[in-house]
Structure 1
Amino acid sequence: MTLAERWLKGAYQDSRWLWPLRPLGALYQRVMARREAAYRRGAKSAWQAPVPVIVVGNITLGGTGKSPLVAWLGRWLVDKGWSPGIVTRGYGGESGRYPLHVTARTDPAHSGDEPVMLAQQTGLPVVADPDRPRGVKALVDAGCDIILSDDGLQHLALGRDIELVVIDGKRGLGNRRCLPAGPLRESPERLLRVDAVIANGTLERTLDLDRPVSITPMRLQPVSWRRLSDAERFPLAPLPFSLPILGVAGIGNPQRFFATLSDLGVKGEMQPLADHQSFSAETFTAAHGRPVVMTAKDAVKCLDIAPPDSWVLEVEAVLPLDFEHWLTAKLSALS
């Protein structure tokens, strides 16, 4: 286990060795609160796009399920007659040329892995740009009439009409402390000022906020297996590969992916990797001829280096009909 992995595990379990960092966490929380307050009262200005902007983010480190929600929203908006575009920072990319228009064929070394994955899953215009307002302008110029900002909660220089926050149902808010003493990017009370809080999976820990907040349930549903070499899809059962397998996951919460594999009857050696980790052929040496199973986010980096018998588990977000009605009403109120 790397130091980063040990720290993240300790932050969610409130390990005693992190307690000396609490003063730094309290300082970080105050800085973030003052920054948000400055934008709210107009002391710092945010650029407001000429089209609606929906921000999807979180207040914790580690994977919560933001990207599947963005993909779901993109498909849902298309069904409702909108022409959405997705703006993202492009974490891990080294383009140097922004705004970067990302397609299903873009090299993830330039854009980062998540933008390519979203382009593949949705077929929508995707722009990677650390400067979110600049990225949104490029999408509007391309004809988009609504914007989804992936992982954009803390990017306050971009104005927003709807804020959606995703939390991991199992891990919740961890030890409820801000970086570096805990996993929080902002105070837990930030959840009281967003439009909707969405729990990925059953919420197992109380949020313990100053007042109750409504929680929208979301689950990630496996939908198919995809063979990496030729993108052919297969049903979940029977398994299209033999057991045992080597499972690899370079995502924020690899154990959630491995638990899903277990639920599907997939057994073998599970190899957790760092979030956004770079892959090489050496990553798969532990396969020893066994099939390799990975996430869609990892797959965009592995097409040319993974063994021939490599597979991707495709998942989609599932949300209640009540959320769709609520979102329809929110968007109607903006027009």
Structure 2
Amino acid sequence: MWWQRAWYRSGVHPLLWLLWPLQVLYRFVVQRRRQRFLQNPPKSLAVPVVIVGNITVGGAGKTPTVVALVEWLQAQGHRPGVIARGYGGNGPFPQAVTPQSTAAAVGDEPRLIVLRTGVTMVVDPDRVRAAATLLELDPQISIIVSDDGLQHYALPRDIELVVVDGERLLGNQHQLPLGPLRESQQRLSEVDLVVQNGGAEQAFRHGGDSYYRFELAPLQWRRVSDNVEVSELPAGERVAIAGIANPTRFFETLRAQNQQISDYRAFADHHPFTPADFADWQHVDAILMTEKDAVKCQSFAQEHWYYLPVEAKFSSDFWSAFQQCVDAVVARRQQ
């Protein structure tokens, strides 16, 4: 939609000001929900809950962050489990996510997370029910990571981590529908950790010691059909597709790799790909896509389709800070 693009341009588009009364109403509702949560927070779950969210609409890099946190927790001897809404999935809910799950049933990002980490995961728009189901499925889980859910105040939380897109930042800094913010920027001072996905070192101003920056590092190209790594892509005509919130980020990565691309095609975030979407490219030598798109295309992918997985690279300072947050929660629960 044009107004969503306008959110991330300099200043406020004149037509957007027509939505100002709705922003006032939205802000009032959000503040009331937040106040009710602070006055009467939900009862804690049996294990700590880490929420990975954002305060803007659209992708900011939450899924790679969730993958990184899960892998780090596993390496530290924890047994993490993951919950998510299952956006784009048709259910039924609650539903456990397995390597055999389809993106149509559970959503593209949950399937990606499970394929990358092997973690126990449940999707359900009701995050509390998702958490309860998760602990029933795997009673050995010692910590839950919630992919999104920062504004899902029915879900108790012990650690809040917010991801900010380092390129688009907070847009015009207005709340919905005048701007992209789900909550005011002040909310960032109330969470435990803020991480910036790429962008300039000082592109985003956030006071305190809870701000960290990370980069999405490309890994080895893989074939979509069988997930096998390839040492190099075939020569010839290549096209690139992206059905993610910020397709420009993927396209810029390809340019940085000096990939010769004849056609770039952006689809809507979470687009449910079908073979018909690729009808225009029957005779190209390679179709390149993101990992998030690949999990939806694997069942009908051809041999010349490839995807580029990425890895969130955090500094040692961030991991020290996250360790302190986890240790503090564990200590508090043992009192």
- TM-score with structure 2 setting the length: 0.92
Within 5 Å, give how 1:67-146 maps onto structure 2. 67-96=63-92, 98-141=93-136, 142=138, 143-146=140-143
Counterpart of 2:264 (choices 263, 270, 276) is 270
Within 5 Å, give how 1:83-232 maps onto structure 2. 83-96=79-92, 98-141=93-136, 142=138, 143-203=140-200, 214-232=210-228
Amino acid across the alignment from 1:174? G
Structure 2 Cα separation of the partners of residues 333 and 230 of structure 1 = 42
* Paired residues of 2:53 and 2:148 also in contact (CA < 8 A): yes
Deviations 1:27-70 (A, max 9, x none): 2122111211110011xx42421111100000111210000000
Structure 2 counterpart SS, 1:217: strand
* Paired residues of 1:85 and 1:126 also in contact (CA < 8 A): yes
Counterpart of 1:248 (choices 241, 245, 248) is 241
Distance 1:331 1:126, change over 3 A: same
* Paired residues of 1:171 and 1:205 also in contact (CA < 8 A): no
Structure 2 Cα separation of the partners of residues 243 and 189 of structure 1 = 50
Counterpart of 2:58 (choices 55, 62, 65) is 62
Amino acid across the alignment from 1:265? N
Identity of aligned residues (%): 41
Distance 1:110 1:122, change over 3 A: same
Structure 2 Cα separation of the partners of residues 192 and 243 of structure 1 = 50
Count of aligned positions: 324
Runs of 4+ displaced beyond 3 Å = 203-209, 211-214
Structure 2 Cα separation of the partners of residues 205 and 15 of structure 1 = 26
Deviations 1:111-163 (A, max 9, x none): 11111111101110111011111111222221211000001101111111100
* Paired residues of 1:228 and 1:311 also in contact (CA < 8 A): yes
Structure 1 Cα separation of the partners of residues 87 and 221 of structure 2 = 26
* Paired residues of 2:52 and 2:145 also in contact (CA < 8 A): yes
* Paired residues of 1:33 and 1:187 also in contact (CA < 8 A): no
Distance 1:267 1:63, change over 3 A: farther
- TM-score with structure 1 setting the length: 0.92
**Deviation at residue 330 of structure 1 after TM alignment:** 1.4
**Structure 2 residue runs without a partner (length 5+):** 331-335
Structure 1 counterpart SS, 2:299: coil
**Deviation at residue 206 of structure 1 after TM alignment:** 5.7
Deviations 1:215-271 (A, max 9, x none): 200110001101012211134xxx322243111111111111111111111121110
**Structure 1 residue runs without a partner (length 5+):** none
Counterpart of 1:297 (choices 279, 292, 295) is 292
Q: Cα RMSD between the aligned structures? A: 1.6
* Paired residues of 1:169 and 1:205 also in contact (CA < 8 A): no
Structure 1 Cα separation of the partners of residues 141 and 16 of structure 2 = 45
